[in-house]
Amino acid sequence: MKPAYKISLILIVLAVVAGAGAYWYVFLKPHQNLENTKPEFKLSSTQLFNDFTEDETAANARYSGKVVEVSGEVVAVQTGEQGTAIILEDELFGVSVYLDSSFVAANQQLTNQTATGQTITIRGKCDGMLNDVVISRAVIIQ
Amino acid sequence: MKTLVLSIFVILFTTGLFGQEIYFTKTGTIIFDSSTPLETIHAENNQVTSFLKTTNGELNFAALMKSFKFKNALMEEHFNENFIESSKYPKAVFKGQILNWSAINLSKEEAQEANVEGELTLHGVTKKISTKAVLNPQNGKIAGTCDFVVSAEDFEIKIPALVRDKIAKEVKVTVNVLYEPYSK
């Protein structure tokens, strides 16, 4: 084979591999794994709830869509068909945390042990506020 | 926000907080599907808040757009940034009423049909929705399910020409709730 052919063949193979990589990266990229993501904010559930009640627009700009690490007292654990929710601070006006289903599957025991009255730390994505602050795709840190 | 908290307080206190007149859930589910043969578009929100007032059948739903979860991370990003503009319009709210409330018997543990009518606010646009739902009182809780169809156009959600064939114009919405009595 002539060197020119060889080079172009190599280039074509490289282009295909790069294309496949780019496709995978852009179209099939996985969701962020929060167990290994550094949180942008670390705060208590009281602080987070107060920030949202004081100025929801500002709090949305600050926290919404970001990874937060929140500590607070568990007031309720709700396990439904779709997954597990942990409510911090207050049943209606607190922080509502929805656990990541794959985290729950891998940490069944830890999830089952979570009970009312405990103080826990979770890391998750802040989605905004309804009557409580909503955090999703969460993992239990402590 | 303050007005929302305030109005919930007002609802709770003026309707008798201590009876079992308010049923609520914070883990209601809304699923939407606008799949076409070309693409599966399916998202689930498991953090829907809803109140049901059992004195008159008044209903309230609120959901955050960012809580809609897609299997595909890129699709979720596009949904939030390009379609629903969740930073500008973070939530969807439904305020309505069960029209045949007097015919519903909560002490009967069986599926009962409810006619729901109300206003859905989504992407900054409010539209009237009327649909049939099924209520099923079980062990002191009330299970509710309902589905209806909305069109993206009605809510001024623009779909870029490039993906227009991949996304169904009619979006099927399924709602599932399990209300618990609110007592404190």
Instruction: Residue B110: give its domain's CATH number.
Output: 2.40.128.110
**Whole domain around residue B68: which residue ranges?**
19-181
Find the CB nearest B47 among A28, A91, A134: A134
Q: Among B140, B148, B86, B90, which Cα is nearest to B114's?
A: B148
CA distances from A53 to A40, A63, A91, B132 (A): 20, 13, 16, 35
Q: Would you state the pLDDT for residue B9?
A: 61
Contact residues, chain B, for A127 at CB < 8 Å: 47, 64, 66-67
pLDDT digits 0-9 by tens, B100-124: 999 999 999 999 999 999 999 999 9
Q: Which CATH number fits domain A34-140: 2.40.50.140, 2.60.290.11, 3.40.640.10, 3.40.50.620?
A: 2.40.50.140
Residue B101 maps to a domain: yes
Q: Would you state the pLDDT for residue B10?
A: 58
Q: Among A126, A67, A66, A117, which Cα is nearest to A96's?
A: A126
Residue B150 maps to a domain: yes
Residue B5 maps to a domain: no
Find the CB nearest B178 among A80, A93, A130: A80
Per-residue pLDDT of chain B (184 residues; tens, 9 = 90+): 566 666 666 555 555 444 568 999 999 999 999 998 888 899 999 999 999 999 999 999 999 999 999 999 999 999 999 999 999 999 999 999 999 999 999 999 999 999 999 999 999 999 999 999 999 999 999 999 999 999 999 999 988 888 888 888 889 999 999 999 987 5
Residue B8 maps to a domain: no
Least confident of A36-45, A129-138, B164-173: B164-173
Q: What pairing do the DSSP bridges indicate for beta strands B22-33 and A95-99?
A: unpaired
Q: Which residue of A has its CA nearest to B24?
A: A92
Give me the helix-helix angle, A45-54 and A56-63, nearest 10°.
130
Q: Is A45 on the interface with B (CB under 8 A)?
A: no
Do the Cβ atoms of B98 and B114 come closer than 8 Å? Answer: yes
- Hey, are the CB atoms on A130 and B49 less than 8 Å from each other? yes
Maximum separation of any 2 CA atoms in chain B, in Å: 55
What sign for the dihedral angle of Cα A32, A91, A52, B118?
Answer: positive
Residue B14 maps to a domain: no
Find the CB nearest A52 among B1, B63, B72: B1
Residue B139 maps to a domain: yes
Residue B141 maps to a domain: yes
Q: Which residues pair with A68 in a beta bridge?
A: A41, A124
Contact residues, chain A, for B90 at CB < 8 Å: 60, 64, 128
Number of domains in chain B: 1
Q: Among B42, B51, B43, B45, which Cα is nearest to B21's?
A: B51
Domain-wise residue ranges, chain A: 1-30, 34-140
Q: Is A53 on the interface with B (CB under 8 A)?
A: yes
Residue B72 maps to a domain: yes
Q: Which amino acid is at A36?
A: N
In whole angstroms, what is the distance from residue B36 CA to residue B67 CA?
Answer: 23
Task: State the smallest CA–CA distance between residue B97 and chain A in angstroms.
Answer: 20
Q: What pairing do the DSSP bridges indicate for beta strands A95-99 and A133-140?
A: parallel
- Hey, are the CB atoms on A136 and B8 less than 8 Å from each other? no
Is the ipTM of this structure higher than 0.90?
no
Average pLDDT over residues A35-61: 94
Count contacts between A and B (CB, < 8 Å): 86
Residue keyed to tokens 């008798």: B16
- Hey, are the CB atoms on A128 and B26 less than 8 Å from each other? no
